[in-house]
Every structure is written in structure tokens, then in C-alpha cells.
Structure 1
Amino acid sequence: MLLERQRAGRESSWAGGGIVSPLYPWRYSDAVTALAHWSQDFYPPLGQELLQKTGTDPEVHVTGLYWLDLDDEVQALAWAAERNRPVSRVAISSVKVAVPTLAEGYSTAIHMADVANVRNPRLTRALREALLQLPNVTLREDCAVDGFIHEEGQVVGVRTAQGDIRADRVVLCAGAWSGELLATLGLDLPVEPVKGQMILFKCAEDFLPSMVLAKGRYAIPRRDGHILVGSTLEHEGFDKTPTESALESLRASAIEMLPALADAEVVGHWAGLRPGSPDGIPFIGPVPGFDGLWLNCGHYRNGLVLAPASCRLLTDLMLGREPIVDPAPYAPSARLKPLA
């Protein structure tokens, strides 16, 4: 049974850009890298499977990604060489040939050729439809969980406004709300909401052939010519209100990268809440002292790219199988503490 406080897939999974890579993968720990690499290979067949099962195409779109004027280019290239990732330094003149709409003034670039982006609103819609086709899955939407049923050291269900629901095992995967829920058991889970705002342009289908990233902002092309530009990083609690200042900042960044966007209409502007966590390392595994309760949360800025591997790792642990990666870095047992 999947319980969702609103409609499934409408929070950070819907709001993000859908890049199937951390924005700066060399700046993350090996724990994040291990999950990201596994998931990147998983997405193309997942997209095909979901299209066949549901008729909804998540659009796993391999465009590659150019990073422009990086301060830590040397570290990025060393990271790629060490892990055999297809990242290379390219002349800025060749970037201009590949991306004719790119602004002048950039001096250096590196390129990762095999990076894809996913149209995440369609991905979540397809996943929801695929779940509903399964005979052993129940989806209950508009059913917010506000606590756990805790009996004799075991978690045996959850409490909701619609009544108690008992279960053999409970997985807490409530995104930015996960820390608040675990606090009801007296545990300090360092997962908090971090607001991010995005804007969307509509251009010709061939306007932007590759993703580009400069000065911390990125532009992502969809196949139909929509261009996403993001994102902000704001600590505003659970406030998801889009702001005029963010709209102006994101539009300025977009035009600085791609000057022709000055003549394009902003057709969308929204905000989402990332589940912020220390170093972006998710919490995956059982909660010590609370048998029956498991975590899969705290993916911060990389929820989409880490999701397939995170779910596979959690499933391996719950079923007692050989895990796909070493589970130790994600284990709640070493990272939770009682509330002060």
C-alpha cells in the first residue's frame, strides 16, 4: 500500500529538472556516486518499459551536458578519469558549433556525452499508472500520515486522518516531510525542506540540442522545444510560493546563457521542496530500536537520479538479498540520534 498526502508524484519528483546526473558529480561522495552510476544505466530500459505498459513516454532524452567556465575543471576531469566516465575538455569554439544559441564570452568547457534528462512529470505519471496495473498494490491518495503505531518496540502501522493502517513493515519515504514524521518517534532525522524554483520557456524544437550549465544555473531541453531553467536554493521552510525575485533572477541567468531567450515567453514558473540532508547522502535501511520501520529519504538535489538504485538497495535489504552497493554509508543506525 502506497500512502500519499496529496497526489502521487506531485512534489519534488514533479518539480525538478530531470537531469539523470548530479549537477556536479565530482563534488559528491562515493556514496552518492555509486547510486547515481547504477541508476543512469537503469533509466533507458525503464523508460521503454513504462511506455510499453502505460502508453506514457517519460522521454529519456540523451542530450549530453556542457559545463562552462568551471572553477574546479581539473578536479572534474580527474574524477572522470578515475571512474572511467565520458567527460572531456572541449574547445569553446566546438561548443558554439554544437550549441549555436550559446552566448559569447565563455572561455572553457567540459562535456559529458551520455547524460540524459527525463521528463519527470511524465515519468511520475507513468509510474503511477504502472503501479495501478499491479494487482497487489493499493494507492491511497489525499491520505496524509501524521504518526506511527508503535507497540512494544515495534512499528506496526501508521496513523492517518482516515484512521489507523496496520502493516508488517513501514517505509518512510516522505521527502521533505520525513524529518517531521520521524520526530514523532523522538528521533532526529536531519532532513529538511529546501525550496527550489524553476522557469519554463517554449522555443523551437531544435533551439537547444544539449543541456548547458554555467554559474550554478542550467538549461534543459525537452524534445518539443520546452526549455527548463533552474534553480534557486532557498531555506524557507515549507513555503512553496513562487516569487517575482526568483523569476527575474532565473530569467536573467537564462538570457545570459542563451540570449535568444530574451524574446521567448516564460510559460511556467513553479517551486518545489527538496529533502535536504547532510552531504546529500540519503538514509536507506532499517531504523534501530524500531523494528518494522525503514527509511528511504533525504536525497536532497538528486532524488530522481538516485531513485532507482535507492529503491533497489532498500528492496535488497528488506528481502535479505545481496545488496547492489555497500549499504553502510546510507544506514540510519550510524546517522540518527534522539531529539534533544
Structure 2
Amino acid sequence: MARQQRVVIVGGGVIGLLTAFNLAADVEQVTLLDRNTVGQESSWAGGGIVSPLYPWRYTPAVTALAHWSQDFYPRLAERLFASTGVDPEVHTTGLYWLDLDDEAEALAWAEREGRPLSAVDISSVESRVPVLGHGFSRAIYMKDVANVRNPRLVKSLKAALLAMPNVTIHEQCEVQGFILDGTTIKGVDTAQGPMLGDEVVLAAGAWSGELLKILNLELPVEPVKGQMILYKCSSDFLSCMVLAKGRYAIPRRDGHILIGSTLEHEGFDKTPTESALESLKASAVELIPALADAQPVAHWAGLRPGSPEGIPYIGRLPGFEGLWLNCGHYRNGLVLAPASCQLFADLLLERSPIIDPAPYTPHGRV
């Protein structure tokens, strides 16, 4: 029996979409709002590796969410594909890290966490990835790392939500303020009029901090620009993901190769730049020399929701009844989404949480 709760979710990226998806069966009504079109910001722009780039460099809080999500992603993709006909293309290729400075720490972390990461001989990498550039001397490998085709994940989640009778999606619907009764949030004011709810969830990515300023709250979430380029090769050109010097190559099933990404503090400016294009092309050629003869077919930028240590805010916001956060995932929104949104649903619906929610609580952090 669904609870008599109306939930308004502000932000239609993967976090907002999956939050809606996880709540819809258990509440009366879900209203999802996005200032543009759903999933067109950070969710669309990212690479979609289902792992933090350097998982051993993160806090246990990020690791806990990442492990749960990595193990859950294939089931989520199958469920979405079966119900919508849109395949998010969770593509398990494995990932090679090359010439790491902290290889010993990575291997110690893997042993401690029970993850299948191990040192491999560089000659075995060269035989499996014949297009790899020469000059690399060391490698570690994790076999079960996947990537998800994030634009297709967004499309699949949107289709699943549109099929649910108690879910409404409002696009081009910018939030202009909060509807308050004392310190209780009753909904939000938007360009399309008031949207009322018993619970309001901020899942607005890099814009979440700006929205909370309306309530005179300071949330340390800021936009961090990232630029990427895309090549089109044959489907068997690159067999797995490779990462060196902070840059990566991600193969899609159809032969598209993503190269990313920059890390820039430029406010809300997401204009692609010529300097980033040249830097990314140089990284592409260093990783895969054959790309020197290819031209990128696309170049774009997105804004990550930067947060301290990359630990998201998940839970009720103190001081205002009915206001919740699920935001601040920094570089790992796609990686952490399944666990974050399941944990969020557990908290809002007062179920036993999948993992300890304490590290993510907004209380004492906002």
C-alpha cells in the first residue's frame, strides 16, 4: 500500500530520475522538475565508468556506495531494458591503470576490500590492447569494471517514469523559490506555477547550492567543469578501458571511444575550449597512437557537482521540515547513483537502510 505522500524532486539528472524511480511504487505521487530537459547536464556529459577513477583514494563513505552500486548496475540495466526497450548498455570491459604512482596503495586497498584488482605484466596488456601506446611500463587491472552509456540510461529511466501513472515530469521548469509555512517546506515556486508536496528533494547537481541560498543556507556544492571528446572507430578497435595520467579511454559497444576529462573551476561556464580540445587529443594519442589519424566527432563540456571529499549529501536537511538532499556526488554521480537513491528511498520511507547513512547526513555538514 503506497503512503499518502506527495514528493517533489528538483533536478532530473540520473540522481533525480533514479530517486523518482525508487520512490514511485511506495508514495502517492512523484513530481519531477528540471530547469531544462532531464538528464542533459552532468548525467549526459560524463564518461559512465562504473567505478571511481581511483577508488583507493576515496573515503570509506564513497567506497561503500560505489561497491553497492557496481554490484547492482547489471540488474538495474536489465530491469530498465525489459520494461522500456531502451538498453542502458552496461558494458563490462575491465579497466587497466597504467604507470600509477600509488600502485602499492591501490593493491593494498583491493586486498583489504576484496576487490579483483591485481598487478599484470605490461606485455599482457599490450597483447590484449594492441592499439595501446608504447612507453608504459606497469599496469594494474580490475576485470569486472563496466561502463554505462549514460545518455541511454537517462533515456531508459525517463521512459520508465513516463509509464508510471503517479509520476509527472515537468521540463523547462526552473525553481524560483520555496513555499514555506513557518519552517515547513510545502513545495516550490516555478516558472510553471507552484508545485506542492509533502516532501521536497533537492537533486539538482551543481545547482543545488544555488537553490539553498534562497533559504540562506550554504551548501558547499560548486560546479566543476569537465570536457570530453569522442571518436568513432570499429567496434573491435578497443577491447577495454585504459587510464593513465588522469585521462581515460572508454570503448562503447558500437566503436565510439570517449576520451576524458578536464577538471576546471570556471563557475557555471560550460563552453568547450580549444585548449581543452588540444589537451584531450594529445592524451588520446598518448594512450592510443592510432587516433592521431582520426578527428573527434564530438567535443563537449559538463558541470560536476563538486563537494568536500566527493561525499554526497543524502537525507533530511535540518531546520526545515519536509526538505531533503540527494546531491553533491562530484565525479561519481553515475557510479554512486543506484546506492545513493536506494539509501535515500530507505530514509524517506523509514525502512532499514542498505548501508549506514551517517557519513552522508546533511546534519552538521550544511
The answer to whether TM tops 0.5 is yes
TM class by smaller structure = over 0.9
Query: For residue 62 of structure 1, what is the amino acid of its counterpart?
Result: T
Is 1:134 aligned to 2:164, yes or no? yes
Residue number in structure 2 paired with 1:313: 343
Selected match of 2:278 from 248, 251, 254: 248
Selected match of 1:44 from 65, 74, 79: 74
Is 1:229 aligned to 2:259, yes or no? yes
Deviation at 1:280, TM superposition (A): 0.2
Residue number in structure 2 paired with 1:146: 176
Residue number in structure 1 paired with 2:241: 211
Is 1:5 aligned to 2:35, yes or no? yes
Residue number in structure 2 paired with 1:195: 225
Is 1:160 aligned to 2:204, yes or no? no
Show CA shifts across 1:260-288 (max 9, x none): 00112200100000000000000000010
Cα distance in 2 for partners of 1:275, 1:230 equals 17
Query: What SS does the aligned partner of 1:220 have?
Result: strand
Cα distance in 1 for partners of 2:336, 2:180 equals 30
Selected match of 1:73 from 103, 120, 125: 103
Show CA shifts across 1:27-53 (max 9, x none): 000000000011111110111111111
Show CA shifts across 1:277-334 (max 9, x none): 0000000000101010000000000000101110111110011111111111000011
Query: For residue 90 of structure 1, what is the amino acid of its counterpart?
Result: V
Cα distance in 1 for partners of 2:337, 2:176 equals 24
Show CA shifts across 1:199-247 (max 9, x none): 0000111111010000000000001100000000001111110001100
TM-score, scaled relative to structure 2: 0.91
Selected match of 1:24 from 54, 58, 65: 54
Q: What is the aligned length?
A: 336
Query: What SS does the aligned partner of 1:187 have?
Result: coil
Cα distance in 2 for partners of 1:211, 1:241 equals 27
Show CA shifts across 1:108-129 (max 9, x none): 0000000000000011001000
Query: For residue 277 of structure 2, what is the amino acid of its counterpart?
Result: L
Query: For residue 326 of structure 2, what is the amino acid of its counterpart?
Result: N
Cα distance in 2 for partners of 1:282, 1:240 equals 22
Is 1:183 aligned to 2:226, yes or no? no
Is 1:300 aligned to 2:330, yes or no? yes
TM-score, scaled relative to structure 1: 0.98
Residue number in structure 2 paired with 1:262: 292
Is 1:82 aligned to 2:120, yes or no? no
Cα distance in 1 for partners of 2:79, 2:44 equals 20
Gaps of 5+ in 2: 1-30
Residue number in structure 2 paired with 1:110: 140
Deviation at 1:164, TM superposition (A): 1.5
Percent same amino acid among aligned pairs?
A: 72
Cα distance in 2 for partners of 1:294, 1:114 equals 34
Query: For residue 104 of structure 2, what is the amino acid of its counterpart?
Result: V
Query: For residue 299 of structure 1, what is the amino acid of its counterpart?
Result: H
Selected match of 2:44 from 14, 22, 36: 14
Cα distance in 1 for partners of 2:251, 2:197 equals 43
Cα distance in 2 for partners of 1:30, 1:135 equals 38
Deviation at 1:3, TM superposition (A): 0.5
Query: Which aligned runs of 4 or more in structure 1 are off by greater than 4 angstroms?
Result: none
Query: For residue 40 of structure 1, what is the amino acid of its counterpart?
Result: Q
Query: For residue 101 of structure 2, what is the amino acid of its counterpart?
Result: D
**Alpha-carbon RMSD:** 0.6
Cα distance in 2 for partners of 1:295, 1:167 equals 15
Residue number in structure 2 paired with 1:123: 153
Cα distance in 2 for partners of 1:16, 1:177 equals 17
Cα distance in 2 for partners of 1:48, 1:268 equals 29
Deviation at 1:150, TM superposition (A): 1.8
